[in-house]
Amino acid sequence: MAPSITTFALEKREVLTSIFQDDTLYFNSNNPGTLAQKNVDHIRGKTVVRLLIGDKKFLLDLVQGFQQQLTDLKIDHQYVIGKGATIIKML
């Protein structure tokens, strides 16, 4: 839900420092898009991937790009955009 599909330039400084030691290469190698590409044979047909994001979320374009990457890699997934939402609540 509201996945953290982001870029080094957009990520919060405290996340870059504490998790990625402010290392662009380390950040990019652990990006969901990079991991999907690297592990496509372990993911395709073996796990459920769901992306849920509000249409008001500022990372919507990046999440849509990741969704397209999953489609291109033929990784089955569900993709839902909540209309008028920044956060989607699941009941």
pLDDT digits (tens, 9 = 90+) for 29-51: 999 999 999 999 999 999 989 99
pTM tops 0.85: no
38-85 per-position pLDDT tens digit: 999 999 999 989 998 888 888 889 999 999 999 999 999 999 998 887
H helices of 1-91, in order, are 13-18, 24-29, 32-38, 40-43, 60-72
Name residue 53's beta-bridge partners: 81
